Amino acid sequence: MVLTRWQAIAGQSPFQVGSGDTTMINRLFMGQGARAVQLAVSVAIGAACLWALGGQVSAGFWQNVAAELRGLDGASVILAIFCTCLSFLALGRYDAIAHRHLGSGIPKQQACGAGTIAIALAQTLGLGVLSGALARWRMLPDISMTLALRLSFFVCLSFMMALLVITAVVCLVLPSPSFMFWPSLIIVLVLPAAIIGLFLHPTVKLGRFSVRLPSFRALGSILLWTAVDVGAASTALYLLIPGGEIAYSALLPLFLIALGAALLSGTPGGVGPFELVFFAGLPDGNSVQMLSGIIAFRAIYYAVPALVAMALMLRPYARLPVEPCRSDHSISNAPRAEVGVIRQNGGFIADHSALWHSGQTLCALFDPISKTAPDPVGTVLKAARDQDLIPGLYKCSARTALLARQKGWFLSHIADEAVLSPLHFQTTAAPYRGLRRKLRAAEKARVSVFQATSLPVSDMARIDGLWQRARGGARSGTMGSFCPDYLSHQKVFLAHLDGRLVAFASFHHTSREWCLDLMRQDPDAPDGTMHSLVHSAICTAARHGIARFSLAAVPACPDPSSALMRKLSQVAVRKMGGPGLRQFKSSFRPVWQPLYAAAPNRVLLALALADIARAIHRPSTEPISDQPHHDDENYEVAPRLAS
């Protein structure tokens, strides 16, 4: 129906309609009865409000209003038009934020333009989510109707939340109706808890769906542009009210309350509730001037933009050129095998850098996977800006950290990585006395270790369950949860006792390096079992000519060779839930190499590390089968110490 009319106006099919869009359109219009009821209710609300206002109108009221409109000052009208343009400039920014959040890939200019047109129509026609979605779908041929609805819902809901906060603050600061005091105070007091809740739960479950909430940077942008929008709109109304008898400080709270009431009512243009709030809240004697100003405001702020938007919709944006598909750079030759962790945490490769979205932060993990990679700092800066996230580097080497420092970023030495060379690894020397004792203990207990050719998934799941019950559950982010799909990309070594699986260890691997990842063992496994697993992996790597073997990282220790520092690091590890970790790795006599985290400044670095710690210690509630594997708890840096 609507689609057919638009196509007839344009003279040609404006875009291809996919099967998903057809289904969505059918759902929308098959439910037109319910929407007709909704529209009827909205119109009834508006009519009731206008009827209530009519009872307050005296004889000659409308003649006085007409006289006031004829006497409007030209300069005030021009300034009001300027404020309207400023307000709509801000309105378009909502869509730019929504497109970045939802990852539509639509350029900012098109997103802002389509959003401005959609809001100009939706605020005048009513039924904002549906009418706005149809307008966005019409203007942007590269998006589906489903995405258009998501964009429309995101813009409407985020604007209402921002308007709620701004209204509460304004009503507490400026003179406002007395009934607004307690609701405003409650909103302001609850706001810090809401911010903490958003930080701790960046994703929420709604039935079968997981919804990723906007980041702090996105919410800050929404709040800023909402303030610009309502500030400019209220100024336009203030300029159009004749006489100047109403102070702006008195008008602004009423405008915000009236705008909220109009949006909640769903009436076309907010007619009825908007006027009723003003007439109920203003002192006597201002009704003629106020209604004159509102009528002029509706003409300039609602009618004219809607007409312009309808004209612009005759010519939607052209389709974006199809970019050639570029496959991700293979990580099989990466200098850091641990980059394989992106297979389980939703990470991806961009410009030869492994990027991970941890909630509020987009961090580049480790170093670039290629020597020809562009500046990793610039890569993560651009990608974070495109997603309204905090940019950061995590567990990078001194070389990349130096590059970040040269660009003015703040660094923190957060970890030490245990590295050894399998080609030169010998346990006969005196420093390996403790390791030899552990290996003999496992051998005496008749523990047999070999590399898996196929994964005994059920037995491994049993071991993982025993480990989690003993350790308090798995974590997330770059830390580990058992997942067979993920382990299928790794080298896995199994330890058996009398034919029964008692432990296993997995290792990231590339052509240059192996890296210890997940370790699980039965709490009753013989002493030295895990040492035997790692030792067997080192020996196997040596036979394959692997020059670098990483035992992964532990919390930063300035001098691992110092007995005092080792003692202090053990305390730190114990607080992080990994007792004996440094001691375990030290038995293999590795070389300790520093790893760093970096962000543009101290505040952002602290927030980024806290966000990473949150992602690690508060894992998703989604089923493990629906999310990739996570790195092992005992080989992570970000948790309590880093935050």
The position carrying tokens 């903490």 is 196
Question: Does the structure show a pLDDT above 50 at 438?
Answer: yes
Mean pLDDT of 20-45: 51
- C-alpha pair distances (Å), 642 with each of 268, 356, 503: 52, 17, 29
CB 396 within 8 A of CB 596: yes
| pLDDT value of residue 44 | 55
Q: Crossing angle for the helix pair 287-297 and 273-281, nearest 10 degrees?
A: 150
**Backbone angles phi and psi of 18, in degrees to 5:** -80, 170
CB 541 within 8 A of CB 530: no
Listed by start position, the domains of the chain span 2-104+155-304
Question: Does the structure show a pLDDT above 50 at 640?
Answer: no
How far is C-alpha 281 from the geometric centre of its chain's CA atoms? 40
**Tokens at residue 509, please?**
């691997």
CB 233 within 8 A of CB 254: no
| pLDDT value of residue 9 | 35
Strands (E), 232-352: 348-350
| pLDDT value of residue 535 | 93
**Backbone angles phi and psi of 368, in degrees to 5:** -55, 150
CA nearest to 243, candidates 191, 205, 282, 271:
282
Kindly report, residue by residue over 405-435, the tens digit of the pLDDT: 999 999 988 888 899 999 989 888 878 888 9
More confident site: 272 or 398: 398
The chain-wide mean pLDDT, for the chain, equals 80
b/e map 431-446, b = 16+ CB within 10 Å:
ebeebbebbebbeebe
CB 138 within 8 A of CB 316: yes
**Tokens at residue 128, please?**
């904002």
| pLDDT value of residue 307 | 93
Report the C-alpha gap between 531 and 585 in whole angstroms. 9
| pLDDT value of residue 165 | 95
Kindly report, residue by residue over 314-337, the tens digit of the pLDDT: 989 988 887 655 544 567 778 888
Four-residue CA torsion sign, 402, 407, 412, 414: negative
Kindly report, residue by residue over 148-204, the tens digit of the pLDDT: 999 999 999 999 999 999 999 999 999 888 888 999 999 999 999 999 888 888 887
Rg (CA), the chain: 31
Mean pLDDT of 222-240: 93
Mean pLDDT of 258-263: 86
Mean pLDDT of 219-228: 94
More confident site: 442 or 246: 442
Kindly report, residue by residue over 333-343, the tens digit of the pLDDT: 788 888 888 88
| pLDDT value of residue 484 | 86
More confident site: 465 or 565: 465
| pLDDT value of residue 632 | 38
- C-alpha pair distances (Å), 489 with each of 16, 170, 452, 468, 492: 40, 56, 12, 22, 9
More confident site: 50 or 246: 246
